[in-house]
Structure 1
């Protein structure tokens, strides 16, 4: 086990590795897990022990492994070897051909396994060649310490360019020709250089510009023409294929840039930390240096003829190389400088509290006066073609100042605010494009309409920029195109309206998406320098190269890992050692147990420019109803997935809106053990047995139900009988009650008859008393009284029918008692029967005596006789017997 020193990739993206006496390649299985496959077993025995493999190069269908003594050639599962006569110290492929150098020998070309020395390269025998480039018909040779040579048709000569001067003494370590022909040089002491094919230095990057260190061990150019640098300790990524490059603290430029200018061979930048300058070398600049006396907030740099003016928090200054000279510090703050369009000897400075006028005295600008009448801030100032001075105010609206012909007095001030057509008084920005005064508002671009003396929407610009967003900046470019910035911070929309053949515009938005969130709201600085555009940013300067032929970005989306979150984040797919290789095959479907139905899927795009802003959207077929929205999340989790087959698809989109090749991951979640086909068979058998049992149970229950039904019917019949009996009883009760009512009625009649009888007897008794009373009288009066008694007795006789009525009612009430009594005891006299009837009525002897017209003792004597006739013993109670009879 040794350290890997070299890597190579074939046309099929297989990765080969080289180490000490070891070569092989990486194999990734269907689950994304990488293993190493050694090729030593197929190397002929005599070529083993080949030493350290320090370079691997692919050519056509072959892989070449370079060591100090041998070149191993792998093709179609076979390994051949070429043995070197001398130590091999350099190998590189140029235009499909291998160029080699053996120690102490000139440069050679490998042809059919043989070394062919290049004539004229003998002076290189003692040099250490580090790189080769093809420029036209020439072969450019890069050496470690002796500079760069050109070889053509057997002639070797120094390459007369600035390259030798740039890399002198930097200890060149390697060189590589890039896809667009540029020459990349990696050094040990001074980082990376990039030169044009003609030898012009285009880029120099060191640790100060962001490299982790200055030692370049290897260079790899990706499909998007960006560079990956293997350093002495670490890896760095260089966006060489980008349209932008940055100048910031790595270039000794500190702070946010509010303005920039190219002046006298230097690039100046005004920041919130001070003003800085850097000498220009072509289109590149060296590290920045601080301009003394500017350690405040700096707002503006403006070149007026041969003078560079600086406006900062202290006031106005002139820039003199690395220092500044105060020009006007009477009032704090100098925002801007603008020349009078009709009198070039007048210059106007907008400050925090008004406007100053300067006059050119032939040698320098001198303060003339401060304009009276306007005391508001004047951060944005523009002269129109008529000589009106327009001033933008972020909170009030837009002011228009009418000046006198001399330009040193204000004749009139007009304010154009919401009452004069603007949609709001806030955040209105002032521009001049193609000679027209334009206002950037929160509802698109407005323009001044002289006939209305008001601001109106600009139909021309709102067609292209809309009417719903804040327009922050409009700048007319040197070629007549219009650069615009609109939208709020972090949602910036930046582009260039380039006029097309139809008179309309082509709206170029790519690649300005990269600047989103980097510009300073309300203080956007744009400077044009040749084919470059310099943007002031929150962290330095951003330079856009307009003539950059940006290639179409090609990238893919990879699914790197799949975890089961239900089992302590166990890895289901992917390599635990972070071996990044997309190995998913279209027909691969991973099978997962049901207890692995909670997944976390991680993914990434092979696009590294603003990689934090790469967005992804996903769709899980079999689960999602629609694709998710674009987000920057690089993983997605699912829980409680049901059994079934799923396909997870993920797409990526870079900051420019380009969509990369999608990736898919298919998997099947098995059902839980209790939902497998075996268990369903068990369930079926169980259900069968259960069905049979249920049928038997059902039959048993039916029988029980039948018995229950019969029992219930019996109960119902019993209940019916009971109810019938109750009904009969109730009817009997009713009849009894009716009979009782009749008895009560007849009893009342009987009682009435008895009363009448008692009254009758009383009458008889009275009659007897009267007879007895008159029995001693012998006169007419007595006779008259006797006649009265006779009449009374007649009345008594007339009432004998009452007893018959009484006997009738009594028999009805007492179940024919009298009739039954007479039948049972025929010896009883009518008087006896009458007494028995009264006893049946439970009357006492005292109550009976008057009813029968006898005395109490007579009643008792009669009772005695009746007892004998009834043959009762002395112990028997007559009344009780009568009641029971």
Structure 2
């Protein structure tokens, strides 16, 4: 009993010397909803393609840092083990083993055991481990080992159940479940001398470190192989591991031992510092049962859990302090003290010593800032300002809200910005003696000085003030410089001290003060080097941190050249406290506050981003090669794969089709939609904060829309051709019909016209004949009228003469009476005028034609012509014209000459023809 007590005291003493460190590496957890697989992860390896592969029950998982893929075996059995050999990923499952290879963006499986009767039907054989030895691949189950040389398979059956086989120093060791550990030589096995302590326990790992072999048993801890036998590892951690149940263990290249347990998560022991870290569900691990361990090429750790996958950046220069208890709240400032950390949070001021939190008395409430001056820590608090020194806390003053404390550039004076103005500490050894800058009773966030009797003060809300005072700190002048400089957006002004110069960050632009014009002017050096900066925190003369587009960069100023080191966004995404980022510098680290803890960044950290990046593009689930074609109106997923999972993972941006804007690549994937047809290009750049460096590119073509494809265009042409053909045929048919109709119509019209012409001709003929008849009738009427008149007169005259002859006997009187009768019976002038008028009306057309052709004819000539046309004789004409017969003949002769008629031509016929 006494020895047990002494042993416990010894281990307690040792454990107190190697207390588990509070800072932990960055951890990324992946659960089933991320990889869409099963619970247990039995094996983890990194392939030659830099992708991580996992044996996940019914699936082989693949993760390239961008996309998760899962594949099942043809027989749907559980995959228990995998191993990388060149481009092949060997896997073992229930009564089955083979290998996978990648082609066209997908994994393909080839069975080695297909159609081979290697397994006993009565045994439920599963391949739990695969390893390479002497050029052959070994597949190990609980009963057998199958040796595959690429062509043939040799089976070795063991007389007992085995847990695992291990290759160490060109030897194969076989661990049985009950009979201990055996050394294998060909098909023979032997139990090494002095190893009986391993009987009735399960050995889960044998690893070599610095020339010594370490054996990891499930419940008896760790043993070291020596000549005489086995020696228990003399380390207090070994006792903890016995209770934790070791499942797997591996050594790292940087002198660390990683041990995965069944109920305590993972332990990471550092041989150089003789300290360990335990990552479990109490801090950041998702599950306490670790089934497998793997490493990537950055020497970071991958854990296969009983439920999920965890990536642990044990080789990263960044460590984290996580507060999962919620005791701290949001951390606004942190400082390193001798035994731990001093933390200012929105819950109060805390000491963290020996793994325990301790709130300092009377500090509950909002604490803002911790500044170290010598051995003193000045803490600004909502209730005043405190001083922490040698573990003791005293209150300096009761002025609320000590936001920031800054030292004057020109002397040892300190200025503190508070809710109600600026405090001045002339003597840091007498902190209780302070002065207040007058006429500045407003919340001041930042304050700085680089000229005697003058300070710069930035309002918490808006405005920048230049305050001039005398030697007794009596205010002489307060100027609102942003107003005087006509800067409209002067909200959240930040003051930055750089090499004895004060700069002002206002609305993403850098300014300095021009004392001649008494205004702010833009600073060319900083505006050209630091664009889109929303926050800046000074560390020392040559180092500071900026926040650009949500990403932190550590800046080292070397002359006028600035060297950028990115601090990846994944370390603090969503946990930065806006406008309250503070950095505390220790001898080896920078401490940055977060919502749920803080970051520790190595001061010598230089993030040389990996420049290798390859592109895998997928369209409708199929791999798209460079310079190939994708369908129109489909989504293209462009995976930008760096093969880096840790701190040196590059910060990537891309340009599409020579765009002017750089677009950040989120989670390594670019998703392109609604692309126009034609050629497109994606160019990927690495961004270090100051410049962009091209790392990869990808070109592809988007097909024409289906309705513009070759076959559719051909169809369109055929349709157009058919339409034109039928249109031509239809038009031709219509034209033919039209011609027929036109011919018929023309024929019909011709017939109608002929009929009309015939009728018209007949009518005209009838009219002509009628007209001729009317003319003849008129002529005859004229002749009859003329002759009737003449006969009537002659008859009357004869009757008169006859009566005179009968009554008168006297010859002279008779002669006189006869003459008188003749004269009485002459046609009177009026009757002749009426006669001539009627005659002219009847022969009007003839007279008009005659007058047009022979205008020189006299009226007497025309009258003679009318009488002649009436076919009257000269004798008949003579009395009508009141001339003698001889006169009529003479007149006719003259008329012939006027009408230019020859002697052969008949005058009457000529006149009738007119």
Is the TM value for this pair above 0.5? yes
After superposition, the Cα gap between the structure-2 partners of 1:548 and 1:735, relative to the gap in structure 1 and judged at 3 Å, is: farther
Residue 247 of structure 2 is matched in structure 1 by 173
Task: Choose between structure 1 and 2 for higher RCO, CA contacts under 8 A separated by at least 6 residues.
Answer: 2
After superposition, the Cα gap between the structure-2 partners of 1:235 and 1:35, relative to the gap in structure 1 and judged at 3 Å, is: same
After superposition, the Cα gap between the structure-2 partners of 1:420 and 1:812, relative to the gap in structure 1 and judged at 3 Å, is: closer
Superposed counterparts of 1:54-453, under 5 Å? 54-58=128-132, 62-84=136-158, 87-93=161-167, 98-102=172-176, 110=184, 128-151=202-225, 157=231, 159=233, 163-164=237-238, 167=241, 169-178=243-252, 180=254, 182-198=256-272, 200-201=274-275, 203-250=277-324, 252=326, 254-279=328-353, 286=355, 288=357, 290-291=359-360, 293-319=362-388, 326-329=395-398, 331-338=399-406, 348-357=415-424, 365-384=431-450, 386=452, 388-402=454-468, 404-405=470-471, 409-410=474-475, 412-420=477-485, 425-442=490-507, 444-449=509-514
Residue 861 of structure 1 is matched in structure 2 by none
Distance 2:762 2:590 in 1: 120
| Equivalent residues of 1:309, 1:319 under 8 A apart | yes
Distance 2:511 2:710 in 1: 69
| Equivalent residues of 2:493, 2:505 under 8 A apart | yes
Match of 1:537 among 561, 586, 594: 594
After superposition, the Cα gap between the structure-2 partners of 1:388 and 1:611, relative to the gap in structure 1 and judged at 3 Å, is: closer
After superposition, the Cα gap between the structure-2 partners of 1:391 and 1:332, relative to the gap in structure 1 and judged at 3 Å, is: same
Distance 1:733 1:96 in 2: 142
After superposition, the Cα gap between the structure-2 partners of 1:560 and 1:17, relative to the gap in structure 1 and judged at 3 Å, is: farther
Distance 1:670 1:798 in 2: 111
Give how far 1:72 is off: 1.5
After superposition, the Cα gap between the structure-2 partners of 1:416 and 1:664, relative to the gap in structure 1 and judged at 3 Å, is: closer
After superposition, the Cα gap between the structure-2 partners of 1:659 and 1:104, relative to the gap in structure 1 and judged at 3 Å, is: farther
Residue 854 of structure 1 is matched in structure 2 by none
Distance 1:616 1:361 in 2: 48
Residue 555 of structure 2 is matched in structure 1 by 497
Distance 1:366 1:33 in 2: 72
Residue 620 of structure 2 is matched in structure 1 by 562
Give how far 1:110 is off: 4.9
After superposition, the Cα gap between the structure-2 partners of 1:812 and 1:413, relative to the gap in structure 1 and judged at 3 Å, is: closer
Give how far 1:395 is off: 4.7
Superposed CA offset, 1:355-414 (max 9, x none):
33458797x7425454433212222123437464432225554334445546x5445545
Tell whether 2:839 aligns with 1:808: yes
Residue 485 of structure 1 is matched in structure 2 by 546
Corresponding pairs, count: 736
After superposition, the Cα gap between the structure-2 partners of 1:390 and 1:700, relative to the gap in structure 1 and judged at 3 Å, is: closer
Give the secondary structure class of the aligned counterpart of 2:502.
Answer: strand
Residue 475 of structure 1 is matched in structure 2 by 538
After superposition, the Cα gap between the structure-2 partners of 1:52 and 1:655, relative to the gap in structure 1 and judged at 3 Å, is: farther
Give how far 1:193 is off: 1.8
Tell whether 2:525 aligns with 1:456: no
Distance 1:697 1:2 in 2: 66
| Equivalent residues of 2:547, 2:553 under 8 A apart | no
Give how far 1:71 is off: 1.9
| Equivalent residues of 2:416, 2:423 under 8 A apart | yes
Distance 2:606 2:229 in 1: 35
| Equivalent residues of 2:401, 2:419 under 8 A apart | yes
Residue 785 of structure 1 is matched in structure 2 by none
Distance 1:251 1:95 in 2: 46
Distance 1:237 1:667 in 2: 38
Report the RMSD for the aligned CA atoms in angstroms: 6.2
Give how far 1:103 is off: 5.4
| Equivalent residues of 2:98, 2:113 under 8 A apart | yes
- Structure 1 unaligned regions, length at least 5: 281-285, 564-572, 574-583, 762-788, 824-828, 831-885
- With normalisation by structure 2, the TM-score equals 0.63
Superposed CA offset, 1:649-702 (max 9, x none):
999889989999999999999999x9989x99xx89x999998x9999999888
Distance 1:160 1:548 in 2: 34
Give how far 1:55 is off: 1.9
Distance 1:666 1:61 in 2: 46
